[in-house]
Structure 1
Amino acid sequence: MELMVLWDIDHTLIENAGVSKEIYAAAFTALAGRAPVGPARTEGRTDRLIMRDMFQRNGLAEPDWTAVEGALSDAGEARRQDLSRRGAALPGVREVLKEVSVRSSWVSSVLTGNIADNARVKVAAFGLDPLLDLAVGAYGADAVQRPDLVAVAWERARRLRGARDGVPVVLVGDTPRDVEAALATGSEIIAVASGVHSTEELADAGARMVLPDLIDTGRVLGILDAIAAR
């Protein structure tokens, strides 16, 4: 039974304790020469969209993406220790990632709006990186819209891990955008109300499976096993 599981990071695997928005503000300031007028709007958007929105709201032209990505990477690396000190892996995450990682026929990676460098910083800050196959993940520099990241991850899994056509793909995330990405691509979704969105909001977005958190390892594995067996 093969399966590809793609985990969101912020508020699904980790609590970033505000460090994410500090990263966006620092990257903006480095590029614009002044602080932004307001915080970044995140909630499941890709870094491309988040930074584009910041520049538009501040009345500035968006810089070349290479410069933006570099500024985000520098800002993320500079806050690695802050993240480790202030943030945390969410309850149950380490346990469920361990169990999924030992399923030899499964691929377990990330699908995140973060650029790859900052995704690695965030999972490594809490020792989660050995439990994820980050090489086949999809990241915020790979596409503008979140649904397009699913194909990116699938192609990497095919090329690097020999994933076969028809293998079920499951997204695990905490925002309506995670749900929308799954519905738009024919993927399965496990929505987790561990962020700012309630179980009702996630269900209203179209998620048939909504969990309050990832604490019940057996329940999460049971859901994934059932999907893999279809």
Structure 2
Amino acid sequence: MISRLSSYIPIELAARQGSYPGRMPLTILWDIDHTLIDNAGISKEIYSAAFRALAGVRPAGAAVTEGRTDRLIMKEMFLRHHLPEPGWAAVEAALAQAGEERTDALRSRGAVLPGVREALKAASAQNGWTSSVLTGNIAANARVKLSAFGLDPLLDLTVAAYGADAVHRPELVAVARERVRLRYGPTDDIPIVLVGDTPRDVEAALSSGCRIVAVATGIHTQAELAAAGATIVLPDLSDTAGLIELLETFQAP
């Protein structure tokens, strides 16, 4: 949909606290893995290490991710191995430790995807916009992945929704909406746009009344994302000006 390329001049980040006079509100919730960053397989290493720490054995195969939450990913791993699932506190602690131990590997092997840094800067500079994340990662590992590439200052993580907040991704939208409401005030009329790379991102948006901007920067093609129900599918986020113009069409009047 977006083809015009243009340069973007960085602007100082807008103030994040409170309301804005004459604001045209919008909440943008970005996925992390394969939308903002290429984790270079580190995510699957984290799940494998956490499983081994908890079960005492290596998993028979890699974790199945593709937009699932960490709660669901780990639950399915234990079910697949016919083992009882430990309490969530233990699972989350194991995931956090495995993520922290792989910070350097992520930084050296992973990468920020094309146009992402510019897109986040531009969204953060828009008056009245809240730019955060909706991710299947637990909060600790979301921060590891974002901070490894210096992306965390460009996002309002106080209102994010994480993989510990629900088992199924669509449920995370209500979590983020409530956190935005508590921080910034009433949100009933504020549009929410999800940006993600999997059919589960599309499902989460459509089932919760949100808009979706799908990006084919993961394993799913543009055709697959469109078949999942996304009416806007981009090859990547490299056209900053075009992306902001698109997002502006979703703003509340």
Confirm or deny that 1:15 pairs with 2:38: yes
- Secondary structure of the equivalent of 2:193? strand
Matched, 1:166 2:189: yes
Instruction: Note if 1:139 corresponds to 2:162.
Output: yes
CA distance in 2, matches of 1:164, 1:148: 17
AA in 1 matched with 2:52: T
Q: How does 1:61-72 map to 2 (within 5 A)?
A: 61-72=84-95
Aligned to 1:108: 131
Aligned equivalents of 2:252 and 2:116: distance in 1?
23
Helix, strand or coil at the partner of 2:238: coil
Structure index of larger Rg: 2
1:16-95, aligned counterparts within 5 Å?
A: 16-95=39-118
Residue aligning to 2:219: 196
Letter in 2 for 1:141: A
CA contact (8 A) 2:214 2:234 kept: yes
Contact 2:35–2:217 at 8 Å: present in 1 too?
A: yes
**Deviations along 1:99-133, whole A, 9 cap, x unmatched?**
00011301000000000000000000000000000
> Which deviates more, 164-173 or 8-17?
164-173
What letter corresponds to residue 65 of structure 2 in structure 1?
T
Q: In 2, Cα distance between the equivalents of 1:164 and 1:22?
A: 38
Q: Structure 1 length as normaliser, TM-score? A: 0.99
CA offset at residue 32 of structure 1?
Answer: 0.5
Query: Which one-letter code corresponds to 2:250 in the other structure?
Result: I
Superposition deviation, residue 162 in structure 1: 2.1
Distance in 2, matches of 1:42 and 1:164, equals 31
Q: Distance in 1 between matches of 2:99 and 2:186?
A: 31
Residue by residue over 1:76-106, the C-alpha shift from the partner in whole angstroms, topping out at 9 and shown as x without a partner, is: 0000010000001101000000000011301
Which aligned pairs between 1:143-154 and structure 2 lie closer than 5 A? 143-154=166-177
Tell me how far apart the structure 2 counterparts of residues 127 and 65 of structure 1 sit (CA, whole Å). 29
Tell me which of 142, 157, 160 is aligned to 1:119.
Answer: 142
Bigger relative contact order (CA 8 A; separation at least 6): 2
Amino acid in structure 1 at the alignment position of 2:39: N
How much has 1:165 moved relative to structure 2? 1.6
- The whole-number CA distance in structure 1 between the counterparts of 2:121 and 2:178 is 24
How far the C-alpha of 1:163 sits from its partner, in A, is 4.5
CA displacement, residues 33-65 of structure 1 (integer Å, 9 cap, x when unaligned): 110000000000000000001111111111101
Helix, strand or coil for the counterpart of 1:99? helix
Which deviates more from structure 2 when the two are superposed, residues 48-57 or residues 158-167?
158-167
Alpha-carbon deviation of 1:74?
Answer: 0.4
CA distance in 2, matches of 1:120, 1:162: 25
Offset at 1:219?
Answer: 1.4
SS at the partner of 2:171? helix
Q: How many residues align?
A: 230
Give the partner amino acid of 1:85.
S
Q: So what's the TM-score if we normalise by structure 2?
A: 0.90
